[in-house]
Amino acid sequence: MTDKEKIQISGKQTKVGKSLTLYAKDNISNTLKKYFSNFISADVLFSKDKFNFKCEINMHIDSSIFIKGNALSNDAYGAFNIANEKLKKRIRRYHRRLVDHRSKKDHKDVEINNYVIEDSEQSKINEEPVIISESEEIIKVLSVSEAVMLMNLKDQNAYFFKNIKTQRLNILFRRPDGNIGWLDPKK
């Protein structure tokens, strides 16, 4: 399977033409070729907001590396370019650490189940919360800086990991003031 076949371009309640599809595939493959010889998949989703186009890009580089980016613009090409530039910047910043991190896998990661539970305030019909989705996740053994890097790459507001120094479960989260909070519970 060629690199361009691994890239999926789709639209959510909007049509994506051949020109935009070819443009997005070429740019995504060029972005990835610079830093990685191979990747698993990339998904680009275009949708229409009230006055803007939204582009969401999800790249699955390796079994443990998943990068997300999104952007809004008044046209689809502009939204794609902004989201692609965000991903390029993240990959460029973290490439050395990504490569180093993959080579030193001497620590055992922990597998857990991940559940998304519907908010009971929003669902007035049921008394108990309903589980919307379920997936298996791996809790990685990382340093705090590596966890911050992965949280930024995945564009997440929180990240759960096992601290390499203390061997305790830790949580990183994005605070309302824009800084990152770190919870390292004692026994």
Domain with residue 37: its CATH number is 3.30.160.100
Same domain, 25 and 91: yes
* pLDDT tens series, the chain, 187 aa: 677 788 899 998 888 889 999 999 999 888 888 877 778 888 999 999 888 999 999 988 877 778 899 999 999 999 999 999 998 888 888 777 766 655 555 556 656 555 555 554 544 555 565 666 667 777 888 888 888 888 888 888 899 899 888 888 899 998 888 888 888 887 6
Same domain, 70 and 136: no
Q: Look at residues 33, 50, 43, 35 and name the one whose alpha carbon lies nearest to residue 80.
A: 43
Same domain, 82 and 120: no
Domain that includes residue 116, residue range? 110-183
